[in-house]
A and B are shown apart, each in its own frame.
Chain A
Amino acid sequence: MEDSAENAVGMPQLDFSTFPNQIFWLLVAMVALYMILSRVALPQIAAVLADRRGTITADIAAAEEAKQKAVEAEDAYHKALAEARAEAGRIVDQARAEMQAELDKQMAKAEAEIAAQSAESEARIREIRASTMDMVSEIARDTASEVLGVFAVKADAKTVSAAVDAQLKREDAA
C-alpha cells in the first residue's frame, strides 16, 4: 500500500504508537465525566425526581382529602336537608293541629251559642204560641158564647169550652 505519511497506514486502530495517548485521554475523560456526574448531575436529577414524586404524592393526597371533604360536606348537607324537612313537617303538623284545635273550639263555641240561642228562641216561640193558644181558645170560647147568645141557644160555659177545645185540638192536629 502506497499511502503517504499523512494518510492511514493500514488500520489506524492497530497503530500501537497512538495507544498510550488514547488510553491516557480516555482515562482523563472518564474520570472527569464520572466526577461531574456523580457529584453534580446525578444527585441533582435524583433530587428533582424525588421532588416530583413527593409533589405528586402530596397532590394526590390533597386531592383525596378534598374528595373526602366533599363527600362529608355532601353527607352533612343531606342530613341537614332531611332534618330541615322533618322540622318543617313537624311545624306544619303542629300548626295544623293548633289550627284544628282552635277551629274545633270556635266551632264548639259557635255551636253552643247557636244551640243556646235556638233554645231560647224555641222557648220564646213556645211561650208565644202558648200565650197565643190561650188567647185563641179564649177568643174562640167568647166568640162561641156570643154566637150561641145570638142564636139564643142556651149552653152552659162548660160544654162550650169543651167543644172549643176539641175543635182546637183537631185544628192543631191538622
Chain B
Amino acid sequence: MAENGIDIRPMDQFVVKPLFGGDVVNWYTPTNVTLWMALAVLAATALMVYGSRGRAVIPSRAQSVAEMTYSFIYKMVQDVAGRDAVRFFPYIMTVFLFVMMANLLGLIPFAFTTTSHIAVTAVLALTVFISVTALGFILHGTKFLKLFWVDSAPLPLRPVLALIELISYFVRPVSHSIRLAGAMMAGHAVAKVFAGFAAALGAAFFLPILAVTALYALELLVAVIQAYVFTILTCVYLKDALHPAH
C-alpha cells in the first residue's frame, strides 16, 4: 500500500499494545485496552456518581444529565422489555454507559476504541445472549421454545418458520456484536483514511480536514446511537425471554 506516496494505515489505531513496553500480550498484561476501559468506567462513574453527589432537589447541570440518562434507560427498559424487566435495569444501565463512554472516549484523537474490537463486543453480546436464553428456559422451561413455533402461522409453514426463527435467534449475538464493532471500526477507519488524504493532497489539504470534521460530528452521533441500539436490542432480547409468546 505504500506505493505512489499515499501511506495510509487505517487499521493501526486498533492495535492492542502493552502499556509499559514489551511485545507479549498475556491475558493479564495492562494494555491500552485496560487504560481506555478504565477511563470509560471512570467517565461513567464521574457522570453517575460525582455528577449527582449533591442530591439536590433542583439538579445541577451534571446531575440533570445523569438523571436524564437514568430515566431514559429506565423508561426504555420498561417500555421495551416490560415492567418485570426492571430488575435487570442495573445491568442494562452498565452496558449502556460502558458502551457509550467507550465509544465517545474512542473519538478523542489518538485514543483507543475498545468497542471497535470484536472480542469486546462479542463478549458483551454473548453475555446478553447466553443469559437471556438461560433466563428464558429458567422462567418458562420448554415453553420458551414456543418462541420459535409461530402459532398464528398455518400449520405447514410452521416448521419452515421455526427453522428461520431458530437461525435468526442464533444470528442475534453475531449481528449484535458486529454491528457495534463494525460501526465503530468503520467510522474510525474512514476518518483515518481521510486524514491520510490530507497529508497526500498538499495544497488542498483543507478539503479532507473539512470532511473529517463533518465525519467527526457524524461519529459523535453514531457513538451515542450505537450505544442506544446495543442497549435497546438487549431489551428486545430480554423481552423475548420474559414474554416468549409472540
Contacts and interface: CB of A to CB of B under 8 A. Distances in A.
B31 A26 contact: no
Interface stretch (A3-11, A85-93, A125-133): A3-11
Interface residues of B, number: 54
Interface in B87-101: 89-91, 93-95, 97-98
B33 A21 contact: yes
A14 B119 CA distance: 8
A122 to B, nearest CB: 100
B185 interface: yes
B38 A29 contact: yes
Interface centre among A14, A36, A37, A42 (most CB of B within 10 A): A37
A40 B26 contact: no
A61 to B, nearest CB: 16
A32 interface: yes
A80 interface: no
A69 interface: no
Contact of B55 (A19, A25, A51): A51
Nearest to A40: B49
Interface of A: 1-3, 5, 7-8, 10-15, 17-30, 32-34, 36-38, 40-42, 44-49, 51-52, 55
The 4 A-B residue pairs with the shortest CB-CB distance, nearest first, are: A20-B27, A41-B48, A29-B37, A38-B90
Interface of B: 1-2, 9, 11-12, 14-16, 23, 25-29, 31, 33-34, 37-38, 40-41, 44-45, 48-49, 52-53, 55-57, 59, 63, 66-67, 70-71, 89-91, 93-95, 97-98, 114, 116-120, 123-124, 181, 185
